[in-house]
Amino acid sequence: MIRSMTGFGEAELEIEAGRLRLEVKTVNHRFLNANIKTPSGFDRFEKAMIDALKPWVSRGHVSAYLSLDRSAVAGQVEPSIDLEKAKGYQTALETLKRELDVPGEPDLEMLSRFSDIFRAPDRNQAVSVEEDDLLRLVDKAGSGVRAMREAEGLRLASDLDDRLRAIESRLDEVEQRAPERLSEQRTKLRRAVQELSAQLEVDEDRLAREIAYLAEKWDINEEIVRFRSHIDLFRSALSGDASEPVGKRLGFLVQEMLREANTVASKANDSKLAQASVAIKEEIERIREQVENVE
């Protein structure tokens, strides 16, 4: 089983200061590249959080975002009141009424217009949180990422196997066509020699040597054997236990398959073989694009 490098996980934790929420997103990358953003006061946990993600994600670009919702805690959203300042405003209004002899009485509606009487809750106060609790939050989000990457991996594996079977079908065509090509070439050579020698008897020994030379020059049996071996190794990696990343190994096998396909194409000297080689290389390119997202 393989894992994709595309994944998402999330987790929440209630603490005294509010509700912590962690979101983790991963995309493909050659190595493990982790970046985490935390609220003020949580930066001291960043390294521990990244280390806690590593068992869940061994390769890929990881973006983690930790947020704290203080509104989830009752009473913390209520503003405080500066009573001394409010009393000062009330005294001032009463003085204005008395000195200026104006009608009306200072009331609550009038006092509420002085916004500096009210103070919003301090969102920057120190937050108390245990590192173990925070790391359990990371584990939960990391588990979600792993689950999604494995589900995506199953779909990737199915598509890759379809590509491999398409390649094998083309290799069967190549193996069947290769001896036919040689037989046709033998007939062409005999006809050409007869035409050049004015219908004289063909030197079969000489013709046999030419055919043997061409057979050696155009022989693709070794390439086919190696190609099928690469396919077997590729399938073995796809069906492994996913205990360790296989993306780099699959990438190497893709390069080797492309090498064999190019060699077969260079030895083709035949339109049908050339067409099969092009089709094989197209499938290899599709595999290469998919393998870039395998962990």
pLDDT per residue as tens, the chain (295 positions): 799 999 999 999 988 778 899 999 999 998 899 999 998 888 889 999 999 999 999 999 999 999 988 775 544 456 678 888 888 888 988 888 888 888 888 888 888 888 888 776 555 555 678 889 899 999 999 999 999 999 999 999 999 999 999 999 999 998 888 777 767 776 666 666 666 666 556 666 766 676 666 666 667 888 999 999 999 999 999 988 767 789 999 999 999 999 999 998 888 778 888 899 999 999 999 999 999 999 9
Closest alpha carbon to 173 in 162, 181, 161:
181
Question: Does an H or E element contain 101, and which?
Answer: none
- 245-252 contacts at long range (C-beta below 8 A, 24 or more positions apart): 245/3, 245/58, 245/59, 245/295, 246/2, 246/294, 246/295, 247/2, 247/5, 247/59, 247/291, 247/292, 247/294, 247/295, 250/2, 250/291, 250/294, 251/288, 251/291, 251/292
Pairwise CA distance, residues 135 & 10, whole Å? 13
Secondary structure of 126-161 in HEC code, one letter for each residue: CCCCCHHHHHHHHHHHHHHHHHHHHHHHHHHHHHHH
Provide the residue type at 281 as one letter.
K
**pLDDT given for residue 99 in this prediction:** 80
**pLDDT given for residue 211 in this prediction:** 64
Contact 134, 12 (CB under 8 A): no
Say which CATH number the domain at 25 has: 3.30.230.10
* Packing angle of the helix pair 247-266, 221-238 (nearest 10 deg): 160
**pLDDT given for residue 67 in this prediction:** 92
Pairwise CA distance, residues 273 & 182, whole Å? 12
The answer to whether position 19 is within a domain reads yes
The answer to whether position 195 is within a domain reads yes
**Whether 176 and 58 share a structural domain:** no
**pLDDT given for residue 125 in this prediction:** 53
**pLDDT given for residue 218 in this prediction:** 65
**Whether 138 and 261 share a structural domain:** no
The answer to whether position 247 is within a domain reads yes
**pLDDT given for residue 156 in this prediction:** 94
**Whether 270 and 214 share a structural domain:** yes
Residues in Cβ contact with 266 at an 8 Å cutoff, skipping those fewer than 6 apart: none
**Whether 106 and 133 share a structural domain:** no
**Whether 18 and 67 share a structural domain:** yes
State both tokens at 77: 């959203």
State both tokens at 219: 């022989």
Contact 19, 257 (CB under 8 A): no
Strand partners, 35: 63
Domain count, the chain: 3
**Whether 139 and 58 share a structural domain:** yes
Strand-pair category, 118-119 with 80-81: antiparallel
Closest alpha carbon to 286 in 268, 269, 261:
261
**Whether 142 and 188 share a structural domain:** no
Pairwise CA distance, residues 150 & 8, whole Å? 11
The answer to whether position 2 is within a domain reads no
The answer to whether position 284 is within a domain reads yes
**Whether 138 and 252 share a structural domain:** no
Range of the domain at 35: 7-73+129-147
Strand partners, 81: 118
The answer to whether position 1 is within a domain reads no
**Whether 137 and 182 share a structural domain:** no
**Whether 111 and 57 share a structural domain:** no
Query: Scanning the structure block, which residue is given the tokens 């983690």?
Result: 64
**Whether 177 and 276 share a structural domain:** yes
Strand-pair category, 60-69 with 118-119: unpaired
